[in-house]
Amino acid sequence: MSKKLDGKKALVTGGSRGIGAAIAKRLAEDGADVVITYAGNQTAANQTVAAITASGRKGLAIQADAADGAATAAAVQEAATALGGLDILVHNAGIANFAPISADTQDNFDKTFAINVDGVFAGTKAAVPLLSDGGRILIIGSINAHSMPVAGGAVYGATKAAVAGLARGWARDLGPRGILVNVIQPGPIDTDLNPADGPFASVLTPHVALGRYGKVEEVAALAAFLASDEASYITGAAIDVDGGFTI
């Protein structure tokens, strides 16, 4: 039986854990071959690859720091070579270090922008010549691009607003090739970055209309839809997956 991403070739950055791992696994379940990058957790990266191959798809993990433009570009090229092309690029790798301006540092600003924004630019720049016409670029942004319910999130929110701006521009640039560029903006999702029993949970959970943290699979479901033919008229969009957090 054919699946909706049969034969597609995908790269997911930061696919070793959390949302990225869930997206990588879901794309494979839907029929795509999937390469992931990771920063340092090779054990987790191997687990994601094992899940991809258990779905009957080709899987590969590449260590590549998203803050390193050359390494990111090399990973994109290696992924396309290994898969024989590239149809779907998911920019997921990201960090979040919250600090109010009185305690924030230039180092945190530079590092967060390097991973969350420069990495997205470098990866897209490398991927555009390799992506098939009609391909997909998905960026995992955040509701913090437009909503900041706690103190200390200025730099993180700025990086996520920046990628939403990039996506709108790239949607215009790449529309003539039928390449769709969209941003997924999660609310609180239970991962190592933001555990449902972690320091933000007691503040954030009461604001969620559904009264709970989201699951990584609930973000991956939107990624799979946006990667599919069913999303053929959606580009330049930033879509919240937040359980009603920001309504």
Active site residue 156: yes
Task: Check binding of 93 to ligand NDP (CB under 6 A).
Answer: yes
Of 194, 237, 241, nearest to 222 by C-alpha is 241
111: which 2 tokens? 């590092």
How far is Cα 211 from Cα 191, in angstroms, rounded to an integer?
17
How far is Cα 11 from Cα 104, in angstroms, rounded to an integer?
33
Give, as ranges, the residues between 132 and 161 that touch ligand NDP (CB under 6 A). Answer: 140, 142
Segment contacting ligand NDP (CB under 6 A): 27-35, 53-61, 86-94, 97-105? Answer: 86-94
Give yes or no for a contact between 95 and 67, defined as CB atoms under 8 angstroms apart: no
Instruction: By CB under 6 A, name the one of 5, 27, 32, 44 that touches ligand NDP.
Output: 44
Q: In the complex with ligand NDP, which residue's Cβ is closer, 31 or 187?
A: 187
Task: Check binding of 162 to ligand NDP (CB under 6 A).
Answer: no
Helix (H) or strand (E) holding 156: helix 154-174
Give yes or no for a contact between 221 and 238, defined as CB atoms under 8 angstroms apart: no
Task: Check binding of 59 to ligand NDP (CB under 6 A).
Answer: no
Instruction: By CB under 6 A, name the one of 115, 130, 145, 238 that touches ligand NDP.
Output: 115
How far is Cα 204 from Cα 213, in angstroms, rounded to an integer?
9
Residues that bind ligand NDP (CB under 6 A): 13-20, 37-41, 44, 65-67, 92-96, 115, 140, 142, 186, 188-189, 191-194
Active-site annotation, residues: 156
